[in-house]
Amino acid sequence: MGILVSELVKNFKDWGVTHVFGIPGKPIVPLLGELEDQGIRFVLSRHEAGAGFAAAGYAFRKKTIGVAVGTSGPGGTNMLTAAAQAKAYHLPVLFITGHSSMKAVGTAHGQDSSAFGTDLERLFESVTLFSARVERADLLPVYLMHAIHKATVGARGPVHLSIPYDVFYEKIEPFTVEIPTEVPQMISSNAEKVVDLLNEAKKPVLFVGKGVVAADAYQEVIELAERWHVPVMSTPGGKGVFPTHHPLCLGGFGLGGTEEATEYLKSGVDLMLVVGTKLTDMSLAGFTTDMYPKQVAHFDIDITMVGRSLQVPTLAVQGDAKQNLRRVLDLPNSVELPKRDYSAFREIAASVVNDSDSTEPLESIDALVASSSEELVEETESGMLSARETVRAMRRSLPSNTLLFGDDGSHTFYAIQNYDILEPGTFFFDDVFGAMGHAIGYAVGAKLAEPDRPVVCLTGDGCMFMHGTEVAMAVQEKSPVIFVVLNNGRLDMVEKGMSRMIGTATGSVYEDVLKVKEFAEAMGATAHCCHTVQDVEQAIALALENTKGPTVIEVLVDPFETPPTMKRAL
């Protein structure tokens, strides 16, 4: 017989978990002590939401379960936002919250909202795929097994267990919960119909979203596009799915979209293949009735929203996007498709990607488009640096394999429009839940999972006000994450959107602008304040050389620049 907390942590080790994120509190002290005893690093965050964000970024890049722990009451409620964000990303995060001892239920305890404790089990239900309170030790094996299955199979996502203080110490038989590996995937019977639709289409388009990222279906999207010569456009969340300079790339649609994608849709699309997106208002911003396709084939693991946004005939292809796209590609096809050679592009792209082990920036991203001309720096009305030029400078300065996490705000929409994707699966943004500041923690967790790969967080001053203290978590872990902060002294996306809606903006401009460089230095980070493109490029070069801890690059950008977010319906 062992004790529950020991068996729980043994399972963490079996899953390959090396870091657990959280903030201490009395009900979870047994767990923290056991983590230390078994050699798992406990990473102290500055806020429980930050712990959840970091655990999600860690799970994403480590390809295992992320674990975030918080105490009872406010420790648990602080993690609700992180759980909802992980659910939007379909990331397998196990949230563990403490609870007062079962023998003390009915008596008053600090940090709990009633004599029966804050009901975190129910609070987590709407933001996770499974939530339960482990009231006896013998319940843990079955609850943990169910939680891990929900977290890793099918739609995947976060789960939650609330464990009372005394239950951690209860005796239990040794047990093992394995992460499922051989998981049967749902293959839609409609896959064959997709082949027929593609063969018949005269002007098709692929519309890809964040679900392609969750399914790791980058290669399948490229293969399908090239086989049937289908132009590809992406939702804001699907930005990193398809290489920018591929001959079939139309760029983005929705907020941050391109004119090329808009004009293509207006030219009379007869088939739209939608892959991994719910088609929210962020993705369809600017979509007008003259852009409606004649037919939609919608690939998604959850078909709740299929057919809801576009009122056209829609074929639902339910299941894992990777497996269903692979099925379409593997089906026999009697139709002889026209030939087109993409080998030249692939060779150039491969040469760039093959150099990605180096931490040296690319000499010229224009190698992909056979051009060496430098872009002209735009003059802004205020004379300050534009966000667009900042993003372009980032792309010129960063290695092709850099992982970039975009935070929620206009800063990332500038990147959606101006940051070239050289290697699919290197740009991540959530256009569904959209928690400001989440990318700061995600980047820290991702870097701890992949310490040898450049990791960048693109964020804004508003996000830094919310969760910027997690930079201190990176300082503590000596993790060289690069944080690029576009500072224009306001909640830019809100301020510009509100002005458009009602003619004025209220409560969206900071009277006292955040001094990001000083803030970062106060937490122990290396920091730079940039006013020009040259400043940005130099700061990134120095950051790439810094292996001892994080670098925060503050960029003072034009507060009057119009962000690419004005297409959203009023």
Q: Taking 80 as the threshold, does the pLDDT of residue 344 lie above it?
A: no
Q: Facing residues of 540 across strands?
A: none
Q: What is the pLDDT of residues 497-533, one digit of tens each?
A: 777 777 777 888 888 999 999 999 999 999 999 999 9
Report yes or no: 322 and 217 within 8 Å, Cβ to Cβ.
yes
CA distance 568 to 526: 37
What local confidence, expressed as pLDDT, does residue 369 receive? Answer: 36
Predicted local distance difference test score (pLDDT) of residue 569? 52
Structure token digits, residue 342: 């993409």
Residue 276 neighbours by CB distance under 10 Å: 28
Residue 355's pLDDT is: 54
Instruction: Please check whether residue 97 is in contact with residue 76, taking contact to mean a CB–CB distance below 8 angstroms.
Output: yes
Tell me the mean pLDDT in the region 408-437: 94
530: phi then psi, degrees, rounded to nearest 5: -115, 140
Contact 105, 116 (CB under 8 A): yes
* Mean pLDDT (whole number) for 115-135: 89
* Number of continuous H segments (helices) and E segments (strands) in the chain: 21, 20
- Output the pLDDT for position 276: 94
Segment 284-306 mean pLDDT = 92
Q: Rg of the Cα trace of the chain?
A: 24
Q: Report the DSSP beta bridge partners of residue 318.
A: 300
**Alpha-carbon gap, residue 101 to 72, rounded angstroms:** 11
Question: Residue 38 — very low, low, confident or very high, per pLDDT cuts 50/70/90?
Answer: very high
Give the mean pLDDT of the chain.
Answer: 90
Q: How far apart are CA 185 and CA 193, in angstroms?
A: 19
Beta strand pairing call for 249-252 and 232-234: parallel
What would the two tokens of residue 482 be? Answer: 């690069």
Handedness of CA 46, 48, 53, 58 (dihedral sign): positive
Using alpha carbons, select from 156, 178, 44, 31 the residue that is nearest to residue 96: 31
The residues, any chain, with a CB within 8 Å of residue 22's CB and separated by 6 or more, are 28, 32, 42, 43, 44, 45, 48, 51, 68, 69, 70
**pLDDT tens-digit map of 254-272:** 888 999 999 999 999 999 9
Is residue 321 helix, strand or coil? helix
**Whether pLDDT at 115 is above 70:** no
| Percent of the chain whose pLDDT exceeds 70 | 90
Q: CB–CB of 498/505 below 8 Å?
A: yes
**249 closest CA partner among 120, 360, 349:** 349
Amino acid at 368: L
Per-residue model confidence (pLDDT) at position 378: 58
pLDDT tens for 48-107 read 999 999 999 999 999 999 999 999 999 999 999 999 999 999 999 999 999 877 666 665
pLDDT value for 154? 87
Name the pLDDT band for 370 (thresholds 50, 70, 90). Answer: very low
Residue 350 has pLDDT above 80, yes or no: no
pLDDT of 34: 97
Three-class secondary structure of residue 490 per DSSP: strand
pLDDT at residue 198 is higher than 50: yes
pLDDT at 371 over 50: no
pLDDT band at 237 (very low <50, low <70, confident <90, very high): very high
- pLDDT above 90 coverage of the chain, percent: 75
Nearest C-alpha neighbor of 30 from the set 111, 137, 124? 137
3-state secondary structure of 88: helix
What is the reported pLDDT for 342? 84
**Residue 340, φ and ψ in degrees, nearest 5:** -150, 135
Helix or strand run (H / E) with residue 34? helix 29-37
Cβ-Cβ contacts under 8 Å for 269 (sequence gap 6 or more): 203, 204, 205, 291, 293, 294
Contact status, residue 70 vs residue 123, Cβ threshold 8 Å: no
Q: What is the pLDDT of residue 377?
A: 55
Query: What is residue 366's predicted lDDT score, i.e. its pLDDT?
Result: 44
Residue with tokens 């089990």: 121
Cβ atoms of 21 and 43 closer than 8 Å: yes
Q: Which residue has the tokens 């009122």?
A: 311
**Residue pointed to by tokens 């005796």:** 171
* Residue 363 confidence (pLDDT): 41
| C-alpha closest to that of 456 among 414, 401, 413 | 401
Q: What average pLDDT does this structure show over 265-292?
A: 93
Cα distance between residue 354 and residue 357, in whole Å: 7
Torsions phi, psi for 370 (to 5 deg): 50, 45
Let me know: does 60 contact 447? Beta carbons within 8 Å: no
pTM of structure: 0.92
Q: Which domains does the chain have, with CATH numbers?
A: 2-172 (3.40.50.970), 191-340 (3.40.50.1220), 365-556 (3.40.50.970)
Buried b (16+ CB within 10 A) or exposed e, 181-210: eeeeeeebebbeebbebbeebebbbbbbbb
Q: Where are the alpha helices (DSSP H) in 320-470?
A: 321-330, 343-354, 387-397, 410-418, 438-449, 461-467
What mean pLDDT is predicted for residues 313-338? Answer: 92
